[in-house]
Amino acid sequence: MRRKVLIAATIILTAAYTLHLLLSTFVGQGEDKGGMTTLTGYDVYREGVLVETDLERADMTLGPDPGAVWEFTTDLGQVGEDYQDPAIILRSYSASLIVYLDGDQIYTLDSSGSYQPQSFMGGRYNIFSLPDGWHECQLRIVYRTDDVTARYGFYSPIIGERSTLVQKVVGANLPSLIIGLAIIASSFLILCLVVMMDSTRSRINLLTTMAMLSVTGIWVIMQGRSKQYLIANATMAMDLSFLMMALLPLVTLSYIRTNYRTVIGGRTLSIFEHCAYIYLLGFVLCYIPFVFLHSTFSTILYMLSFILVLYFLALFISVLGIYIKSRFSGGGYLLAGLFLYLTAIVLEQILLARDVTLNIQLAVYLPYIMALFIFLMRAVGESMRDSRSLAEKRRFLSLVYTDPMTGVLNRSALEDRLERLSWRNDMVLIMMFDIDGLKECNDNYGHEVGDRMVQAFAESLKAETADLDRYIFRYGGDEFLLMVVGQDLGDGKALVERIRTTFKSLSPVDKADFSAGLVHYSPATESSIRERIRLADRKMYYEKFQDGRLSRR
């Protein structure tokens, strides 16, 4: 029952997310994921004196410079006019500012931040809309610093339109498009493995991995439209993390356990419960304070997020170490490469980060990356275990179904092969053989020579039917059954003579011979192949009796 609930819940979540993507594609209701254009090329004045022209940087330090007045001017025509409801997003720390458009004052913010008609990300950013005709206007922002704290100026127009998934794909840069499509294509290759899996748990792991890879591929394509780093869009990262937060408890229900043990409240957590708890911890420690606390806590937030990132890495290293300790195989090399890739991304973001935002994005998105890698690890492990199990099963069946003396199938394998033939619905030539004079050979030359005689006959059957679709059985001590698919009685008589010639050349005694009974089985006319086998056996004994060889057994 638990497995059925897990499968149903996974299907529902996947279908819901797919429906969301389809709606964002055709209805165009998806959130904008990268429509911000940074303003550049502005002139900077301090106390009315031009200090820099055509500045290209988006961030700028204004202090410590208490009481100083800074002005930034730029022509909005550089941005373009194909935006719906354009707006300016502006970041300011404890500074008074006034915004002018062609000399008209349109926005005011005092140092306390009391006037905030719209807020974004907890009031650290302020948004104000641009009136009609903004494209032909000149923007002027006046800052007045009120204390000795360093200030930052940042302002960009925001695209008001809601881009559809099609627009994002069409606008993606070529590398991101190729990588994203490759990830999506590789996810569908997992379907080939799903068919081979024996256990429901393995299929669930693989299907979940497939869904996660598909979502990741789509996200990479959409990220490519804004030409940002892989982990540069906090909104999409949060979308995926929320999806994972919904999936992780379901995965926990599948009672999957690893050798990595942590006990909380008297019970042992699985690795997937680790991911869920770590995600919640990261969300509480990083994102919620980021939204509600003032910027003076940015240093504390930075430290918390950095510690959280290190904890993620430590957990992943421990999981990888357990896997390597158990067996460093092809899957281990795959995980080692993924870990190095993840480490490079994390280090790049930490070293290049200029504020806490990027680290918080990492804290939000890393659980998803970890869960994806862990699913890949489990999928590879399950696949390897199933492959080994299948190989062991085949080796066991080979021992059970193979005659050790001759290397052909034994009578125990007959029922299995008859079942296979019933599926094929083909015509079959049935040939029953009995070696003549085997008892006399054993009495006169010893059982070792008799065994060599039996082996010689088996080799004759294999040699003369090597290019045919056939099954060879050792039916008894000196009896053999040969079933050839797609042959008739005429072919069988010629085959018997070839086998006889080869047998005489391989036999350790002179005058080696055998008796044979041949029948033809057609599913359209005969109801039972077993009855035809018994008929071939009777025909073989009849031939032996007719030729006077029955007494020589």
Q: Give DSSP secondary structure letters for 146-202.
A: -SSS--B-EEEEE--S---HHHHHHTS-HHHHHHHHHHHHHHHHHHHHHHH--SHHH
Q: How far apart are CA 212 and CA 483, in angstroms?
A: 49
3-state secondary structure of 269: coil
Q: What local confidence, expressed as pLDDT, does residue 483 receive?
A: 92
pLDDT tens, position by position, 357-402? 444 455 445 555 555 555 556 556 666 666 666 677 777 777 778 8
Residue 10 clears pLDDT 60, i.e. is over it: no
Q: Which two tokens stand for residue 328?
A: 């460093």
Mean pLDDT highest for which of 131-145, 156-170, 498-512? Answer: 498-512
Tell me what pLDDT residue 517 has. 93
Q: Which is nearest to 333 in space by CA: 290, 384, 298?
A: 384
User: Of 27-36, 128-137, 307-316, which range is least confident?
Assistant: 27-36
Distance separating alpha carbons of residues 417 and 411, to the nearest angstrom: 10
Rounded Cα distance between 553 and 374, Å, is: 66
Other Cβ atoms less than 10 A from the Cβ of 447: the count is 10
* Of 281 and 98, the one with more pLDDT: 98
Reply yes or no on whether the pLDDT at 320 is more than 80: no
Q: Are 43 and 73 in contact (CB under 8 A)?
A: yes
Which sign does the torsion angle of CA 85, 86, 91, 97 carry?
A: negative
What whole-number distance in Å separates Cα of residue 217 and Cα of residue 211? 10
pLDDT digit string, tens, across residues 401-446? 888 888 899 888 888 888 877 777 788 999 999 998 888 888 888 8
Before 64, cis peptide (omega within 30)? yes
Strands 138-145 and 479-485: unpaired
Lowest model confidence (mean pLDDT) among 12-26, 120-134, 137-151, 183-197: 12-26
pLDDT above 60 (res 509) = yes
Q: What is the dihedral of CA 242, 248, 253, 255, to 10 degrees?
A: 180
Is residue 272 within 8 A of residue 256, CB to CB? The reply is: yes
- The tokens for 503 are 């047998």
Q: By percentage, how much of the chain surpasses pLDDT 90?
A: 9
CA distance 137 to 140: 10
**pLDDT for res 93:** 54
Is residue 47 very low, low, confident or very high in pLDDT (cuts 50, 70, 90)?
confident
Residue 460 pLDDT exceeds 90 = yes
Q: How confident is the model at residue 50 (pLDDT cuts 50, 70, 90)?
A: confident
Going by pLDDT thresholds of 50, 70 and 90, the confidence category of residue 226 is very low
- Which of 150-175 are b and which e, b meaning 16 or more Cβ less than 10 Å from the residue's Cβ? ebbbebbbbbeebbbbebbbebbeee
Q: How many CB atoms lie within 10 A of CB 88?
A: 22
What was the pLDDT predicted at 121? 38
Vertex 32: Cα angle to 371 and 238 (nearest 5): 25
Residue 459 has pLDDT above 70, yes or no: yes
CATH class as words, domain 409-552? alpha beta
Q: What is the mean pLDDT of residues 106-118?
A: 55
pLDDT of residue 48: 83
Task: Express each pLDDT in 250-259 by its tens digit.
Answer: 344 333 344 3
Q: Is the CB of residue 430 less than 8 Å from the CB of residue 536?
A: yes
Domain made up of 42-158: CATH architecture: Sandwich (2.60)
Give me the pLDDT at residue 254, please: 38
Q: What is the C-alpha to C-alpha distance for residues 212 and 108, in angstroms, rounded to an integer? A: 45
Q: Work out the mean pLDDT of the chain and round it to a whole number.
A: 64
- Side by side, which strands form the sheet with 42-46? 49-55, 42-46, 69-75, 138-145, 95-101, 104-109
- Within the chain, all domains assigned CATH 2.60.40.2380 are found at 42-158
Q: Identify the pLDDT of residue 7.
A: 52
Residue 406's SS3 state is coil
* Whole-number pLDDT of residue 455: 92
Q: What are the helix (H) ranges across 227-355?
A: 234-252, 271-282, 288-292, 298-326, 330-352
Q: Which of 131-135, 192-196, 280-284, 369-373 has the lowest mean pLDDT?
A: 280-284
Rounded Cα distance between 309 and 366, Å, is 8
Q: What pLDDT does 84 receive?
A: 54
SS3 state at 259 = coil
CATH 3.30.70.270 domain residues, the chain: 409-552
pLDDT band at 547 (very low <50, low <70, confident <90, very high): low
Is pLDDT larger for residue 283 or for residue 433? 433
CA–centroid distance for 381 within its chain: 13
Residue 206 confidence class, pLDDT cut points 50, 70, 90:
low
